[in-house]
Structure 1
Amino acid sequence: MSQFKTTPVPRVKNISKADFIEQYYKPQKPVLIEDLTKNWPAYEKWTLDYIQERSGDQIVPLYNNEPAKDKESVYAPKKEMKLHDYIEILKTQPTDLRIFFYELLKKMPSLLEDFEYPDIGLKFFKKLPALFFGGGESKVFMHYDIDLPDSMHFHFDGHKSVTLFSPEQTKYLYRVPYSIHNLESIDMDNPDFEKYPALQYAEGIQADMKHGDALYMPSGYWHYIKYLDGGFSMTLRALPRSPKRFLNMLSNVVVMRNFDNFTRKYWGQKWLDYKDELAIKRTEKNLKHT
């Protein structure tokens, strides 16, 4: 079984704001902080049961591990279900169904009372705190965030695995043009180094998260996520810090995404196949110059 070369993410406790800025934020290095949520009410309260009790009758969109095909929108859910019933599945059986970007301000604002924005040196964008749910078979395809934020990712009630790759590793990852993901045919748990030889040169950072852990993911970092059992996470985002990265974010959101959506609408699977072929050609060209 093939595996990526990875090193464990640094794990710290009781880190000061000054140390976080100097050791991780400025050099843009990931770190897992074990005690950042210990004083939050959420550390004691936030379980699947707690969310389920507050779910009411709201309906949520659900996604699975299958990539969108042809003219399907990547934002179109595979099914919809009551949040209460979905959480019951998470509690009782493995599933690949997951919730993507559940906005707290709109859907469960009472949860805002259970946490605080950490004073750690990041200027968090306070209008978009979001939850992400998944089951024991849920996987989030390898990607980087289109808005290029510095993110703090907090996990609750369960375990998940996060594999990170720095932007410098992009040349080995078969990035799909006009997209924020790599080839969806790549099995990130068992990469085929013969079919995709550049992958063997990629070096990742591995983070295993448990309840209350906080993972700092610097701007532009690739991440592949696996839920090891039912649980959920919250992401707080900070806008890009440099003018260049801010302009890249605007280009991604305003130009690249709309161009890709427009072209996919009319070309469908032909456009997807073309991008995949281009990803392979470009990566193999990079490999020759490595």
Structure 2
Amino acid sequence: MGLQLEQIDRVETITKEDFIKNYFKPQKPVVIERFIEDWPAYSKWSLEYMKEVAGDKTVPLYDDRPVDYKDGFNEPHAKMKMSEYVDLLKREPTKFRIFLWNILKEVPVLQKDFSYPDFGLRLMKGLPMLFFGGRDSYTFMHYDIDLANIFHFHFEGKKKCILFDQKQNKHLYKIPHSLITREDIDFNNPDFDKWPALKHAKGHVAELEHGNVLYMPEGYWHYMRYITPGFSMSLRAIARNPKNLGKAVYNVFIMRTIDNVMRRIKGQKWIDWKNEQAIIKTNRTNNIS
């Protein structure tokens, strides 16, 4: 038995009106399969092309080690030249991922390869972010600090995406004062003896291929696993729901500050306490003794 996951709706393409009515307003995820075939990026963007245009750039790399109290917010675990990184991805499985890489800033020539699609939401134009991963690398289950609407465009290979909405928090072993679940949960193959509350979580799943776009509604939890080496670009639109906007402001200005202060004062004890609380609270809410 695995997680309770339903396949995310798939459409070939979509009008702005249908997107707003069927997906944005009900806050429902969707995969749009053939929306960007007129972008130069659709035929050009591959790992090899990235090596060509950005090979000499030094890129920040992240792996799946647990959070350490000494780590700064989004501090990389290693650095490497993009050309070396692409060679590594193609050569062997690696845990190293590139996360939140701002291509506008780093490789301006790539801006000519895509346009900002009109989904009826105002996209933040300064923030197109790239994400890369090797075979079987994955991101921890998390949601984004600003609870934005996210359009995730995938290039090269295949990627598995598991999503949960915020109503599922009580089943997910969410870490207090943070945006992640317990990092020792394998969402690809969860151990229900160890994490019994996960049996009650209801989520969504999709596999993305080259050129697919995944819409993730506001504040959706997401776990991404690279089935093959590949990369994706995210475009974001600010949260519209006033409750989510309020949460975003709280996360950025209050939650993150509390967490940083407590890490400085208590060090690893603070991280350990949060991890313990995730189990205690989740089990209590789900009446698990």
Under a length normalisation based on structure 2, what TM-score does the superposition of the two structures give? 0.96
Could you list the per-position Cα deviations for residues 258-283 of structure 1 after superposition, in whole angstroms to 9, with x for gaps in the alignment? Answer: 21122112212210111112111211
Task: Report if aligned partners of 1:17, 1:121 keep a CA contact under 8 Å in 2.
Answer: yes
Instruction: Name the structure 2 match of 1:224.
Output: 223
C-alpha distance in 1 between matches for 2:281 and 2:167:
15
C-alpha distance in 2 between matches for 1:123 and 1:195:
42
Give me the CA root mean square deviation.
1.4
Query: What is the correspondence of 1:65-84 to structure 2 with a 5 Å cutoff?
Result: 65-84=64-83
C-alpha distance in 2 between matches for 1:241 and 1:74:
26
Task: Report if aligned partners of 1:68, 1:74 keep a CA contact under 8 Å in 2.
Answer: no
- Where in structure 1 are there 5+ consecutive unaligned residues? none
C-alpha distance in 1 between matches for 2:257 and 2:112:
36
The percentage of counterpart residues that share the same residue type is 48
Query: What is the correspondence of 1:10-89 to structure 2 with a 5 Å cutoff?
Result: 10-89=9-88
Matched, 1:183 2:182: yes
Instruction: Name the structure 2 match of 1:256.
Output: 255
How far 1:90 moved relative to its partner? 1.4
Instruction: Name the structure 1 match of 2:147.
Output: 148
Could you list the per-position Cα deviations for residues 120-170 of structure 1 after superposition, in whole angstroms to 9, with x for gaps in the alignment? Answer: 112101110010000003110000001100000000011110000111111
How far 1:225 moved relative to its partner? 0.6
Q: Number of aligned residue pairs: give it.
A: 288
Which range moves more in the overlay, 71-80 or 201-210? 71-80
Task: Report if aligned partners of 1:62, 1:80 keep a CA contact under 8 Å in 2.
Answer: yes
Task: Report if aligned partners of 1:11, 1:33 keep a CA contact under 8 Å in 2.
Answer: yes
How far 1:44 moved relative to its partner? 0.3
C-alpha distance in 2 between matches for 1:75 and 1:267:
20
Give the AA of the match of 1:4. L
Instruction: Name the structure 2 match of 1:203.
Output: 202
C-alpha distance in 1 between matches for 2:58 and 2:187:
31
Task: Report if aligned partners of 2:219, 2:244 keep a CA contact under 8 Å in 1.
Answer: no
Instruction: Name the structure 2 match of 1:90.
Output: 89
Task: Report if aligned partners of 1:67, 1:74 keep a CA contact under 8 Å in 2.
Answer: no
How far 1:56 moved relative to its partner? 4.2
Instruction: Name the structure 2 match of 1:4.
Output: 3
Under a length normalisation based on structure 1, what TM-score does the superposition of the two structures give? 0.96
Query: Any runs of at least 4 consecutive aligned residues in structure 1 with deviations exceeding 6 A, and if so which?
Result: none
How far 1:74 moved relative to its partner? 4.9
C-alpha distance in 1 between matches for 2:260 and 2:228:
33
Query: What is the correspondence of 1:118-137 to structure 2 with a 5 Å cutoff?
Result: 118-137=117-136
Could you list the per-position Cα deviations for residues 168-193 of structure 1 after superposition, in whole angstroms to 9, with x for gaps in the alignment? Answer: 11110011100000111212122121
Instruction: Name the structure 2 match of 1:234.
Output: 233
